[in-house]
Every structure is written in structure tokens, then in C-alpha cells.
Structure 1
Amino acid sequence: MTDRTHPSSPPGLAIPADDPSRVLTVADPDGADRPHVSVAGGTYTILVSGAQTAGRYCLIDMLVPAGGGPPPHRHDFEEMFTLLEGELEFAFRGKSQTVRAGSTVNVPANAPHAFRNVSGETAHMLCMCTPAGQDEFFLAAGFPVASRTSPPPQPTPEQRAEKAKLIETLLPKYRTEMVRA
């Protein structure tokens, strides 16, 4: 028999009562109420925010252009990607492997990783982070975009330098660090 205990519900305790202040979330990635930001050259749409899940997780829709993706980094939360379209090269603890549409990749907390779009076409994936927080980081670190399919902005060198300084100050707050490849 499988142990089905949940880390937030110690064994033997009753399941907590329903919290009526929490509501059903239906997220349309093209909906006017969804925030869109350009991060690492891609467009990230916050589908479900940490505020909507009481901080348990966030879900982000990612459109990653050819050649796009973040530099090697690590953070102390779990991150899971489901690749819907395209092909990505995932680097994990210094080793790379190609992942194709239909695959799901789980990155354990604290492990160095990165991904890069090697398909020559835009890759589309969903990213879940648990606990939440990465959604807030992307909103603070990214450049706002009008819609999910709007072209990413072309920031000036000064704007990029300003954003890089901001990101450096945000990394500790969001439990993330950049690592050398």
C-alpha cells in the first residue's frame, strides 16, 4: 500500500474545513485579466498566481523563442515543466538532454538547471512552481507585454542594464541564484 500522507496534513488529523474565501480559478491564457511579461526573450503569462493558491503553487504559460531560455540557475523550490510544443535542451547538474513536446520535466529544489529552445520554432510549455513566488519574480523582473502573442519588447541597452541591476537585488528575495555553467 502506498503512503498517501501529504506534507501539509500530518497523519491522523482531520482534513481541514473548506475555506469559502478561496474561489475556483479558470485561467484563459489570452484573457484580458492575465498578466504577460517578457522574460529571457520569451513571453510568460501568469495563469494561476500564488495569491490565488494561498501560496501553494503558481502556474505559468511560457512561449520561448528559438534560442531563448534562462541562464543556469537554481532555487529552493520545485519547478515542473510540461512541454506542449517544440523542443528544448534541458541542462541539469551540468548534463544536457533534449526534451520534446509531450514530455514533463521535474526539477528538484536546489538543483542547478537551465533550458534553451533548440527547435528553431517557438516552444510552448507550462511551468508549475511550488511553493509559489516565481510568478511574483517574473512580474517584477520582466518587461510588461500587451498580450500573450505580442512581440517581446526590444529594450534599450540602458533598460537592459537597469533590469539586470533590479534582478540582482531580487534574486535573494525569491530564493534564486545564478550559477556558472
Structure 2
Amino acid sequence: MLRLTVSLAALVLLAVACSGGGQHEPTPAPTDVLPDPTASASPTPTASPAPAAIPALTIADVFPPRDLGQFGLDPSRLRTLIATGDVIPARNTDFIIREEGDNFLYTVEKTAGILAAADVTVVNLEAPLIGHCPVHTAGFTFCGRPGFTGALVEAGVDVVTIENNHIGNWGIDGIAET
């Protein structure tokens, strides 16, 4: 019986300890009542300033000269390799080329200086280049037109890879034409 009494007393003490001694703070009542919201006039739109032209970069801006003497390297043997990743002359890019009067150089004119300045420039052509490429601006069946090769040459591209998931979008004939 003593064991039961001690157990009950322990439970009562535990319950009182967990409840904060039975004293609760009352929730304060709000003293300020907010007024009902009222509508205000919309702000008058103002013209945004035209964005500043982005300055052209050079290869030295991208890869600044460094002192290689601390590594025991001969600076005359330094070579620059640029790998761009995917180049997609399809969909909206092809649409803009057509809008620009078939100006394929439009797609590379801003980066050609940097690409041509590298010793080796590599791109991944993410679309076959076919003469009968239709105008399309949506979907995931890509194609570009053969005139894009001139833009790649003009930009100084040395190596073009075609190992990707879209090169076969126009079948074996599309790959062969590319």
C-alpha cells in the first residue's frame, strides 16, 4: 500500500510541475483596434531607364595574365582551350536568324572575339543542320540550317562535337547531312 501511495504522490508532483504550478498568465486583450483598410490610388508608372550596354570582353578579361614563374612553367607554352557546351541553332534561335534576314552571324557576333582568341575552341552542336529545317519555336525536335556552319567558322570554333540526345532528331539522313 505504501508503494501505491508513493507512486500516486509522485504522479501528482509531476503533474503540478508540468503545469507550471497551476498558475496561467491570462491572454492580454488587444488595446488598439486597427481601422478598416481603405483603398489608395495606384502609383503612376514611370519609364525605366534603358539598360546600359554590356561592355565587350576580351580573352584577357576572361583569362587574365598570371605570373607562372612560381610554378616553373614557360608562359610561351601556355594554351587556352574554351569549351562552350551546347550550341543550339534551333527553335527560337533559328527563328531570330530568319527574322534577321538569314544573318547566321547574329548568333555569334557578341562572343566571336573571345572564341577566336582561344588556341582551341570546342562546342557541342545540339541539333542536326539540315537544308529542309522547318520554322518551329516549340517542342523538342531540334534542327538548324547549314548556314550556321559559317557562323561557327567565323567565330573561331575549331572542334564541333555532335554526341548528344538531339543529333538524331531527323534520323540518319539528318546526321549524314550535318
* TM-score category, normalised to shorter length: under 0.3
Report the structure number with the largest CA radius of gyration.
Answer: 2
TM-score (norm 1): 0.19
Higher helix share: 2
TM-score (norm 2): 0.19
Between 1 and 2, higher relative CO (CA 8 Å, sep ≥ 6) is seen in 1
